[in-house]
Chain A
Amino acid sequence: MRGEFLHDLLKLATAVVLLPVLARADDARGLPQHLGDTGLYVAGSLSQVSPDVLPFSPQYPLWSDGAAKRRWIWLPPGTSIDASSPDAWDFPRGTKLWKQFAHGNAIETRYIERGSDGAWRFGSYVWNADGTDAVLAPVRGIRDLPAAKAPGARYTIPSEDDCRACHEGAPVPVLGFSALQLSPDRDPLAPHAERVAGAVDLASLSKRGLLRNLPVELLARPPRIAASNPAERAALGYLHGNCGNCHNNEGPLAVLEMNLAQRVDAPEQETSHANQVLDSIIGVQSGFRPAGAPANAPRIAPGHSGDSVIALRMQSRDPLQQMPPLGTSAVDADAVALMARWIESLSKNPSSN
């Protein structure tokens, strides 16, 4: 009873105090103050998605503490994505993408758009408790918003810096909407992947004429991570979707020489691409020494998940150690189990991997 009262009080505080304050604020980014004005929904509705907005579902989704997510994309009429570089699609100016996060009720809808100047803008809209409005969050984000069904009953809206930290670590700031992520050859072991009715994939996008210059071989043989067994395929896919946006060999963190991003630009070289990832982690000494880990622990110790720095950091939510470093406060137990299964399956002799 007391818990319900407190929950209602927090809802009331959010609705009465926080959202009206946000709604009055001017936004230097030039983003609309209300989600209803971004074009996601038909006019006057906050539930009926516009018919020209397309749902999608990446096969290797980002872990977000168990939040249920829905994703959409909109391209300006008459435009298409230049897919000539399969790992770095060039989106037309005016492109918009949304991702809704829910723990029970919708909590926020993140939004990115490519302006007429070619620059990308990032924002997040915070839903009120009744789902009747969603208002643009401040640039600095909101820490520890009350959310009864989220882990710890708290939820953090990312700051714009947080958005850019992940989205600008890859060659293209649109994550989760790529040839590999939308491949019709979906990975059945990918943790938390969802089948969404009507979701577009590589084939349907091409059929709609929304992809141009897509190498035809990617339609004939949809992209798939080359792996020695199903667990390895899913583990590498998880690392791609959750880590590869920063840990790749093209972005600012290339200096770490750890590449977790898969490439699909040359299907005949799938094995080579996957091996590049494996070569950068298996038996390679980590630059980070987690507390309690053996000295000189490698990123991945074949056969020993407990000595593998990547696995150890995935299991931690100590802010000084955890990976990913932001956007999550709860361990992804399914992913930890998948990683352990894969690492334990690796031969303890690195030269044979």
Chain B
Amino acid sequence: MKSLKLFVFFAAVVFASFARAADPAPANADPVARGKYIVSTAGCHDCHTPLVMTPEGPRPDMSRALSGHPESFDVGQVPQLPGGWLASIANTGTAYSGPWGVSFTANLTPDRETGIGKWTARTFIDTIRTGRHLGRGREILPPMPIMVYRNFTDEDLTAIFTYLQSLPPVKNKVPEPRPPVAAPVAAGR
């Protein structure tokens, strides 16, 4: 587990690498090209593509691009932070512990069972607009910047979804989020 400070450094490295690769695509471009442009510049990979350590430092594992927190990585117990610190981040950059509990980034690839392969554009738009899973379920947790992304136009969100659906599906069942330590748990369990 790494500190938030370290993660900011990682995120900057990842963001910089994708920012260099992004080809501008105007709003009226082919939806896949437009979606790829937005995904590459809006920081989606920063959290949804797992990092791996290399001799050059942490780098996104593009063989698992946008597939979310690896199901094979059990983060175990999360560290208790001293006062003045808000969150802890797993070294893959895909799991976050804070006052909301532990959140794991989603598999955005079109795998039908573990990703968003069965979703429609409406499901995706509803999710981003409402900040609720599938537009109707539990609230999407930090650090997903819903309050920023909900301002995308329907056209841009549709382009993002179209691009995500064009990716190779990655089978990866992301764990469910964990509640805060002091939160109520299900009755009878």
Contact = CB atoms under 8 A, between A and B. Distances in A.
A255 B136 contact: no
Interface stretch (B76-84, B87-95, B180-188): B180-188
A52 interface: no
A289 B177 CA distance: 10
Contacts of B175: 289
**Among B122, B126, B141, B188: residue with most chain A CB under 10 A:** B188
A255 B119 contact: yes
Contacts of B134: 252-253, 255-256
A161 B135 CA distance: 9
Interface in A275-313: 287-292, 306, 312-313
Given A252-B122, A255-B119, A312 B137 contact: no
28 contacts: A161-B129, A161-B130, A166-B136, A169-B136, A253-B123, A255-B123, A255-B134, A257-B118, A288-B176, A290-B176, A291-B176, A291-B179, A291-B189, A306-B188, A312-B189, A316-B185, A318-B186, A319-B183, A320-B141, A320-B176, A320-B177, A320-B178, A320-B179, A321-B138, A325-B136, A325-B138, A331-B187, A336-B187
A165 B101 contact: no
A246 B185 contact: no
A249 interface: no
Nearest to B118: A255
A341 interface: no
Nearest to A165: B136
A317 interface: yes
Interface of B: 101, 113, 118-120, 122-123, 126, 129-130, 132-139, 141, 175-179, 183-189
A301 to B, nearest CB: 15
A306 B185 CA distance: 15
A53 B176 CA distance: 46
A316 B183 CA distance: 11
A345 interface: no
B176 A319 contact: no
A341 to B, nearest CB: 15
Nearest to B185: A318
A156 interface: no
B155 to A, nearest CB: 19
B141 to A, nearest CB: 8
Nearest to B133: A325
A256 B134 CA distance: 10
Contacts of A165: 130, 132, 135-136
A319 B138 contact: yes
Nearest to A159: B130
Contacts of A166: 136
Given A255-B118, A318-B183, A320-B177, A292 B136 contact: no
Contacts of A287: 113
Contact of B176 (A161, A257, A289): A289
A64 interface: no
B189 A252 contact: no
B123 A252 contact: yes
B38 to A, nearest CB: 23
B136 A291 contact: no
A315 interface: yes
B103 to A, nearest CB: 9
Given A161-B130, A289-B176, A292-B186, A320 B138 contact: yes
A257 B141 CA distance: 25
A312 B139 CA distance: 19
Contacts of A252: 120, 122-123, 126, 134-136
A315 B189 CA distance: 9
Contacts of B118: 255-257
Interface string A78-100: 00000000000000000000000
Contacts of A253: 123, 134, 136
Contacts of B185: 291, 316, 318
A290 to B, nearest CB: 7
B76 to A, nearest CB: 14
Contacts of A317: 184, 187
Contacts of B126: 252
Given A252-B122, A252-B126, A290 B135 contact: no
A291 to B, nearest CB: 7
